[in-house]
Structure formats: structure tokens, C-alpha cells
Amino acid sequence: MSPRVPSGDAVVTRVTGTLAEARPLRDAGLYDLVRVGPRGLLAEVIRFHQDTATLQVYEETTGLALGAEVAPTGAPLTVELGPGLLGSILDGVGRPLARLAAATGDFIAPGAAAPTLDRTRRWPIVPRVRPGDRVTAGDVIATVEEQPGFEHRVLVPPGVAGELVEVATAACTVDEPLARLADGTELRLAQRWPLRTARPIAERLPSDRPLVTGQRVLDLLFPLAEGGAVAVPGGFGTGKTVIEHGLARHASAEVVVFVGCGERGNEIAEVVQEFPKLVDPRTGRPVMERTVLVVNTSNMPVVAREASVYLGVSIAEYYRDMGYRVAVMVDSLSRWAEALRDIAARLQEMPGEEGYPTYLASRLGQLYERAGRARALGAPARTGSVSLVCAVSPPGGDFSEPVTQASLRVAGALWALDPALARKRQFPAVDWATSYSLHADATAAWLTRESGIDWSATRARVLALLRRDAELREIAGLVGHETLQDPDRATIEIARAVREHLLGQSAYDPIDAACSIAKTGAMAALAVRALDAALGALERGRAIDDLDLAAVRRAYAGVRAAPEDAIAGPVAALERAIAALGGEARS
């Protein structure tokens, strides 16, 4: 969006932080954008009272004076969608930070503007239609190689249909006509879409396939379906950001949108520096080639923080409509909710619990509902998904606070992070007693096919083992480990191996950072076999001291450390250790 010097009869009559009032503003609608003052500050109309409009300014208002002119742009806050998004780093309102830095230096100047997409780059196109064809909304009219090996499908915008009279065959920029309809409508590589409006789909579909994360504790115990939404609450230092970074690299998504919403500048700087260095283990290409970063740090205007999440989801829906699986990582949703609270306070709205606006739950619900698996509009038939992974930062780790509770009402899964596990260096620090997934049954058949085991039964046995282990360790803490009966001591030993080696992973170990479904299933099934073998030997009269459970733990650690293509040997060693548990009792 190019800067526009305000010109008109509306003027600023009041300024409070990033909130301003203008009167008389008659040529704008609710949530339309306006330009304020001689610097052309970007603002949004959020309330009308007679001819007075309340403006939410997305930039620093220092120096803005009463009487400054206000000019409407005639459109709401929109995002420019087209080739060139992948690999880009955008601020909360869609401005590319690299071009802003080149134009204004290290600090964004108020009123600075830069188009989201590069206007000079020419994209070689492959037409998929011909003059005379009739097209409707969502039809693929051309393809562009946006990144090496990645096909960007150029779509007819929603609400557009007609007969083609002209189709370009040469390379073109995002501004040049790609095709023209009989009524004169021009189709381009780029299209604009309002952030707060969900893109239309042909049909919402149920999902029977999980978003494979590569984290054993998540894939085994708390799977997330493709197109699902999960809340990841956790206090400071519990590993929310590390988990999302790992998912961005290893999850089974073809496109990743990472939204840094209100986090500290040094954390975002680390993300910006590290993402370009990450290599996709599946393709050997940089992860950044299939990633869009949307960043709005804590020192940026708080009102732009709210827009950043909608920006990320709108970009994700665009690639979903092409037929891709998209994962959106939001870090953190609590900062987004704090922006809502700040705006509501400045508007003097009635506060709800802990000062949050009373519509917090409905806004969260609208956001989570934009996740889903869908059949896209148009031809050829395409199915895509948007999966939401939303970190939540409850103050003091209190999960009863409003943002966490509102998220739990609408999210399909909960990955609760426990600071006690984080202090014990358990990663991911997922509390298996608190976490849950409503997608476990829907994804069980797919996971069973991929792993070769009865996934539901194995998952149930592992969860039961962990619950029993927690009970026994609490008892042992009171009366001593030696007073427990032999089956209980064996249960604790097997559960220890499960906690340390099945549920624990190292994000810094190239072998252990991600795990396939086949390996996860094998490790879970072997743990259940080890438990059954130990309990069976004890029932037949063997003593606990006769069972070499330490050898089982060592062999289990060997399976964890083995590469995917060299797991057969360690598995065989573990099976021998398990078989040794079933020997005859000594006379």
C-alpha cells in the first residue's frame, strides 16, 4: 500500500496513545483504513459516534497534532497475496521488513510504506487455461515456481467468474494482467483479501490424518489432526518457542506461517537469524523457502499486534486454497489477547475477567474456527488444511486465567507444559496428566496403518502405565521404594524408561530431534511388551532382583539413539533383553 498524504475535511480532534478521534469523517466505513497527519500514519476506524470516528493507529503517534488531516483509503486492512510470500519476513500489517530497513534504516519511520510483494520481479508462468474457457472463483489459471520445487497456483479471486478472452504466456510481474475476462475484468498474479474475513471454501471436511510433529509424546499420546487447533500453555522457560520451532522444521506441513506476536525483540531476532540456516530434512532445502515469518515485537505498536495473527491466518488460507497443508505457529496468543485488552481499555469498554474485554472468548473462537481441512473452490479439485498451534503464556503458569480457559473451550487439543518437567530437563515438557486430544480416535486408523501396531490400544496402555507410575512414585515418596511390591517396582522401572526415552527427545540431536511414526510406534509397542514380560515373570514366581531391568533400559536407550535406517539391530537387542525377562524362576 503506497503512502497517501491526507487531504480532506476530517481532522484529528483527540489523541490518546495510539488511539485518535477524527471529525467529521463521513467517507469511511467501520474497519476501513485511513491515513492520518502529514506523515500518512496508517490507522483503522474502530468506532463511530455520530460524525466522530475513533481511529486505531498502527504506528507511533508521537508528534501527531490536533487539527491534522485524516483521509480515508476506501478499503479495510487487507493483505496482498501472490508469489513471493514464501521466504519473506513481514510486520504485523504486511510490510516487508527487509525493504523497510533498506528505505528507513534500522528503525521503521512513522508512515513508512512498502508493498508486500516485489513489484519488479518477473515470474515465468505456465498457463493452465486458454482463451474461450469459462472460469469461476478458485479455478487454477496458471502456475508459477515460487521456490525451487514449489508450485504456486494462481487462483481466480473469490466472487469473480466469466469467459476468458486473453491469457498471457510470457513472464509478468504481480501488477501486470495475467488474463482478461469478457467483461473487462483483469486477473493478476496478486490479489488482495481483508484480514478479518475468512476465505470461502467449497466444503469443510473432517480430518482422519494427523499433523505428524516428529515429537513422540505428541504423536503418540496427544495427536493433532490436520486442520485442527491446539493450545500450548506454559510458563516462562517451559519450551513453547522451542517446540514451535521444531514443528516448523519437522511437522508434516508443506507451508509454515510463523507469527511472532508481541514477543521480546531478542527472541524474534533469534528466529530471524536462525530460520534461514535451518535445513528441511525431507528436501535438503532451507526451511525458509516454505516459510512466511510475521513478526510484531513487544516494542512495536500494540494495536498492530492484533492484526498480525489475522495476517498469518489469511496467508495460510491462501495456500490452503491451492491445496497445501499449512501449519500456523502463533507465539504467543496471550500477547494478542493483551492487545485486545489494551484497545478495549482505551475505548472505555466494560472490562471482563482480569480486565480482558467481555468478547475475548468469541474473538478467540472466531480465530480458532479458521483452522480446518477443506475442499477448495474451483477446479481442479484440491484439498488443503490450516492447522493452528497457538502458544499461550499464562501469568505465573496459572492455567485458570481467561486466555487459557477460553482457548480450551474451542481448541481440539491441549499440550500443557509443566515447569517441573522443564526443570528436570524433560523435553518436550508436556504434562501427560493434564494434556488431552480430541483427535485421537479420528487419527487412530491412519496411525495404525503407518506404524503397523494397534495404535489406540498401545496408546491406552502407555497412558495407563504413566498414570500408575505417578501413583506409585507418590506412594514411594512416603513409605520408601523398597517397601513396594515387586510388580509395582517393575512398573516404576519400565515407566522410567518410557519417560526418559520414549517421551523425552533432544532438540539438538540430529537423530533424536524428530521421529517417524514407525519408530514411535515400535518404541511404544516394545515398552508395553517389556512391561508384560516383567509382570508375567513375577507372576510365575521370579523375584524382582532376578530380572535384568537395567539391561532393558540400556537397550531401550539404544533404540532411541539409532537412526531410522539402522534401527533393526537395536530393536533386536531390546527384544532379546525383553525375552530374557521371561526365564524360569530359580529353585
Judged by DSSP in three states, 128 sits in coil
Q: What is the pLDDT of residue 587?
A: 34
What is 354-420 written as a DSSP string?
A: GG-BTTHHHHHHHHHTT-EEEEPSSSS--EEEEEEEEEE--GGG-TTSHHHHHHHHH-SEE--B-HH
Establish if 465 belongs to a structural domain: yes
Task: For residue 48, give the CATH number of its domain.
Answer: 2.40.30.20
**Closest to 413 in 3D by CA, of 221, 140, 181, 269:** 221
**Residue 383 corresponds to which cell in the numbers above?**
484439498
Q: How many domains does the chain have?
A: 4
**Closest to 51 in 3D by CA, of 11, 71, 23, 29:** 23
Please give the Cα distance from 558 to 554 (Å, whole number): 6
**Residue 328 corresponds to which cell in the numbers above?**
500456523
Shared domain check, 507 and 366 = no
Judged by DSSP in three states, 176 sits in coil
Establish if 107 belongs to a structural domain: no
Establish if 443 belongs to a structural domain: no
Q: Which amino acid is at 539?
A: E
Shared domain check, 295 and 390 = yes
Q: Write phi, then psi, for 204 (nearest 5 degrees).
A: -85, 135
Establish if 2 belongs to a structural domain: no
* Cβ atoms 390, 224 nearer than 8 A: no
Shared domain check, 177 and 239 = no
Q: What is the pLDDT of residue 583?
A: 62
Shared domain check, 258 and 390 = yes
- Give the global pTM: 0.92
Residue 508, C-beta contacts closer than 8 angstroms, at least 6 positions apart: none
How many residues belong to the chain?
587
**Closest to 217 in 3D by CA, of 564, 514, 574, 568:** 514
Per-residue pLDDT of the chain (587 residues; tens, 9 = 90+): 444 444 458 999 999 888 899 998 888 888 888 999 998 898 989 888 888 999 988 888 888 999 999 999 888 889 999 999 999 999 888 889 888 888 887 777 777 888 999 999 999 999 999 999 999 999 999 999 999 989 999 999 999 999 999 999 889 999 999 999 999 999 999 999 999 899 999 999 998 899 999 999 999 999 999 999 999 999 888 888 788 888 888 899 999 999 988 777 777 777 777 777 777 777 888 888 999 999 887 777 777 788 899 999 999 999 999 999 999 999 889 989 988 898 888 888 888 888 999 999 999 999 999 999 999 999 999 999 999 999 999 988 889 999 999 999 999 999 999 998 888 888 889 999 999 999 999 999 999 999 999 999 999 999 999 999 999 999 988 888 888 899 999 999 999 999 999 999 988 888 998 999 999 999 999 999 999 999 999 999 898 888 999 999 999 999 999 998 899 999 999 999 999 987 644 33
**Residue 490 corresponds to which cell in the numbers above?**
517393575
Establish if 381 belongs to a structural domain: yes
Shared domain check, 214 and 142 = no
Cα distances from 496 to residues 67, 85, 544, in angstroms, run: 70, 46, 16
Establish if 572 belongs to a structural domain: yes
Task: For residue 351, give the CATH number of its domain.
Answer: 3.40.50.300
* Cβ atoms 402, 163 nearer than 8 A: no
- Domain boundary (189, 213, 244) is at 189
Shared domain check, 358 and 292 = yes
Task: For residue 143, give the CATH number of its domain.
Answer: 2.40.50.100
**Is 500 exposed, middle or buried, given 0-12, 13-18 or 19+ CB atoms closer than 10 A?**
middle
Q: Write phi, then psi, for 544 (nearest 5 degrees).
A: -60, -35
Contacts of 335-338 with CB under 8 Å at 24 or more apart are 335/261, 335/262, 335/263, 335/298, 335/305, 335/393, 336/261, 336/262, 336/305, 336/306, 336/308, 336/309, 337/364, 337/402, 337/403, 338/262, 338/302, 338/305
Shared domain check, 279 and 178 = no
Shared domain check, 220 and 278 = yes
Shared domain check, 570 and 472 = yes
Shared domain check, 406 and 485 = no
Establish if 167 belongs to a structural domain: yes
**Residue 206 corresponds to which cell in the numbers above?**
473432517
Domain residues for the domain of 14 are: 10-76
**Residue 575 corresponds to which cell in the numbers above?**
527384544
- Domain boundary (162, 189, 216) is at 189
Q: Write phi, then psi, for 178 (nearest 5 degrees).
A: -90, -35
Please give the Cα distance from 464 to 466 (Å, whole number): 5
- Domain boundary (380, 412, 438) is at 438
Shared domain check, 65 and 139 = no
Establish if 534 belongs to a structural domain: yes
**Closest to 320 in 3D by CA, of 396, 400, 383, 391:** 383
Please give the Cα distance from 195 to 313 (Å, whole number): 8
Q: What is the pLDDT of residue 8?
A: 55
Shared domain check, 380 and 231 = yes
* Cβ atoms 527, 469 nearer than 8 A: no
